[in-house]
């Protein structure tokens, strides 16, 4: 039966006294694999925006498959090694799952890899039934996204358990943990792509999506990490990887291979400029200095309100006015990639440099919507703190 707790091996005192926290060689491989996921996804979006036509074996798809395969295979090996060939200390530092023992992060990653595999035949049937989907969000793509999320979460848990087992005087796993957290922030941003173009940065819909998503990640990382600026570093990782893609992708010539072509691009279309998450992340890191890593139900609920207020107070005005610059001709260059994100199938027009919806007389967020955005930010922060508290204690 899957829910019966297996016997947990106890450790002898000499084993317990031995230090256990040094990053194994395959941890960097796991982080590399997790990094492949959003890079492959963003490259694939660029491919579909530029060339349109693809096959199962495009380079972008291969990078995404590597993102699932490498962590999946490494964690599968880790699970087999721990259960069948592990030392007493290795098996004791694992959790029990259906009678087998391995670190919790390994199980989560394996689950994510199998979910990514399941999404493939489902997605193929979906295309044959409803037509090739040209959106990011569809039920099979959401299943794939869930698989990717769990693959990366498993890697995150392996890194954080290494950090938590390390003495405070050593920093094993700290940077790997926060780097992986930044990669997961990037994955979340990819999922929000269709709601996050600069033209949408004066709409309630964009801020609602941002409030539901970003505080959760930033709060969780800020609570769980032992670094001084965890949310800021994670936001920096998100920004840095996205900027690299914005600058590198257009260097490659390409042309659309599908009709109708309304925008005849001649190079790979880059993603839109990243949202300035670094700014609210700094505020979150500063606020988190006060409670530190202490938690409690009431304390964290109050803290969640504070985190939500800090996030919105910094994020909204910064993004509100920065988007005006991004929509101006001054941003039409290789650095900011102004309107360069437009795919081949979009008709050029004044709408590219306007706020959406263009029919609205003025772009403001109504007060009632602002209240909802605030509520979502509080809930997101609270869930993030709960998750972060748990992660700060994970040792297996």
Partner 1 sequence: MKTLFTLAILWPVVLLAHIGSPNVFYEGSAGPYALRVIIQPPDVIPGLARITVRALASNVSKISVLPARWDTGTKGAPSPDPAKPVRGDANLFAAELWLMTGGAYSIIVNAEGASGTGTTVVPINSVATARRVMPRWFGGLLGAWGGALVLALISLIGAATRESVLSPGETPSRGRICRARATMVLGTGVIGLALWGGKVWWDAVDRDYRNNKLYRADRLYAEVRTNNSQAILELTRNVDRWGARPIIPEHGKLMHMFLVRQPDLEAFAHLHPVKTGEHSFESALPPVPAGKYRIYADITHESGFTQTLVSEVSLGADANATSFTPTDPDDSWRIGRINLLTTKSAHCQMGSR
Query: Binding string, 205-244, against partner 1, x = CB under 8 A?
Result: ----------------------------------------
Query: Binding string, 286-325, against partner 1, x = CB under 8 A?
Result: ----------------------------------------
- Span near partner 1 by CB under 8 A; candidates 100-108, 181-189, 285-293, 374-382: 100-108
User: Per the omega criterion (within 30 degrees of 0), is the bond before 338 cis?
Assistant: no
134/248 with CB nearer partner 1: 134
Give yes or no for residue 121 binding partner 1 (CB under 8 A). yes
Among 26, 114, 320, 351, binds partner 1 (CB under 8 A): 114
Give yes or no for residue 168 binding partner 1 (CB under 8 A). no
Give yes or no for residue 163 binding partner 1 (CB under 8 A). no
Give yes or no for residue 9 binding partner 1 (CB under 8 A). yes
Closest residue by Cα to residue 218 from 308, 302, 281: 281
Give yes or no for residue 73 binding partner 1 (CB under 8 A). no
Closest residue by Cα to residue 388 from 216, 186, 150: 216
Among 19, 24, 139, 348, binds partner 1 (CB under 8 A): 139
Measured from the CB of residue 201, what is the shortest distance to partner 1 in angstroms?
26
Closest residue by Cα to residue 341 from 243, 268, 238, 259: 268
Distance separating alpha carbons of residues 182 and 174, to the nearest angstrom: 12
Return the ∠ at Cα 80 (arms to 78 and 178), rounded to 5°. 20
The answer to whether the beta carbons of residues 261 and 333 sit under 8 Å apart is no
Give yes or no for residue 138 binding partner 1 (CB under 8 A). yes
Give yes or no for residue 49 binding partner 1 (CB under 8 A). no
Closest residue by Cα to residue 355 from 323, 329, 384: 323
Give yes or no for residue 97 binding partner 1 (CB under 8 A). yes
Measured from the CB of residue 254, what is the shortest distance to partner 1 in angstroms?
11
Measured from the CB of residue 249, what is the shortest distance to partner 1 in angstroms?
20
Q: Copy the structure tokens of residue 95.
A: 């959790």
Give yes or no for residue 348 binding partner 1 (CB under 8 A). no
Give yes or no for residue 259 binding partner 1 (CB under 8 A). yes
Closest residue by Cα to residue 365 from 137, 189, 211: 211
Closest residue by Cα to residue 392 from 233, 173, 164: 164
Q: Copy the structure tokens of residue 122.
A: 């489902």
- Span near partner 1 by CB under 8 A; candidates 4-12, 175-183, 197-205, 207-215: 4-12
Closest residue by Cα to residue 162 from 229, 226, 222: 226
Q: Provide CB contacts within 8 A for 42, sequence distance 6+.
A: 190, 242, 245, 271
Q: Provide CB contacts within 8 A for 389, sequence distance 6+.
A: 223, 224, 295, 300
How many of the chain's residues bind partner 1 (CB under 8 A)?
Answer: 56
- Span near partner 1 by CB under 8 A; candidates 5-13, 208-216, 308-316, 318-326: 5-13
CA atoms within a 13 Å half-sphere pointing along the CA-CB vector of 49: 23
- Span near partner 1 by CB under 8 A; candidates 32-40, 250-258, 312-320, 353-361: 250-258
Instruction: Give the gyration radius of the chain's Cα atoms.
Output: 22
- Span near partner 1 by CB under 8 A; candidates 108-116, 180-188, 228-236, 314-322: 108-116
**Cα dihedral: 352, 354, 359, 361 (round 10):** 180
Measured from the CB of residue 15, what is the shortest distance to partner 1 in angstroms?
7
The answer to whether the beta carbons of residues 286 and 304 sit under 8 Å apart is no
Binding site for partner 1 (CB under 8 A): 2-3, 5, 8-11, 15-16, 20, 52-53, 89, 92-93, 95-98, 104, 107-108, 111, 114-115, 118, 121-122, 125, 127-132, 134, 138-139, 142, 157, 161, 165, 255-262, 345, 390, 393-396
């Amino acid at each position: 039966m899957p829910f019966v707790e297996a016997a947990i091996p106890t450790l002898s005192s000499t084993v317990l006294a031995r230090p256990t926290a040094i990053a194994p060689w395959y941890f960097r491989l796991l982080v590399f694999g997790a990094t492949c996921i959003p890079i492959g996804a963003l490259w694939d979006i660029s491919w579909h925006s530029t060339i349109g036509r693809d096959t199962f074996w495009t380079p972008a798809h291969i990078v995404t498959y590597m993102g699932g395969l490498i962590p999946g295979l490494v964690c599968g090996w880790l699970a087999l090694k721990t259960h069948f060939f592990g030392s007493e200390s290795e098996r004791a530092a694992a959790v029990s799952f259906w009678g087998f023992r391995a670190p919790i992060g390994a199980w989560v990653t394996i689950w994510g890899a199998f979910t990514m595999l399941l999404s493939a035949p489902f997605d193929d049937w979906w295309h044959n039934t409803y037509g090739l989907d040209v959106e990011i969000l569809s039920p099979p793509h959401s299943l794939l996204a869930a698989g990717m999320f769990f693959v990366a979460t498993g890697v995150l848990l392996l890194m954080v358990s290494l950090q938590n087992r390390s003495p405070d005087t050593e920093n094993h796993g700290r940077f790997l943990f926060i780097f992986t957290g930044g990669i997961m922030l990037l994955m979340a941003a990819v999922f929000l792509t269709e709601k996050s173009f600069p033209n949408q940065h004066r709409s309630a819909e964009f801020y609602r999506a941002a409030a539901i998503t970003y505080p959760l990640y930033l709060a969780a990382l800020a609570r769980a990490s032992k670094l001084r600026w965890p949310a800021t570093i994670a936001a920096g990782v998100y920004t840095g990887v996205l900027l690299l893609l914005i600058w590198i992708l257009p260097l490659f010539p390409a042309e659309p291979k599908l009709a109708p072509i309304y925008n005849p691009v001649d190079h790979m279309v880059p993603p839109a400029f990243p949202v300035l998450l670094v700014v609210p992340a700094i505020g979150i890191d500063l606020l988190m200095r006060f409670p530190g890593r202490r938690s409690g139900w009431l304390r964290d609920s109050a803290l969640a309100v504070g985190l939500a207020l800090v996030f919105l107070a910094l994020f909204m005005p910064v993004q509100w006015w920065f988007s005006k610059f991004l929509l101006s001709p001054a941003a039409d260059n290789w650095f900011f990639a102004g309107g360069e994100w437009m795919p081949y199938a979009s008709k050029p027009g004044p709408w590219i440099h306007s706020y959406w919806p263009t029919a609205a007389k003025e772009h403001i967020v109504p007060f009632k919507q602002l209240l909802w955005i605030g509520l979502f930010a509080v809930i997101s922060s609270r869930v993030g703190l709960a998750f972060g508290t748990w992660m700060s204690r994970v040792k297996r």
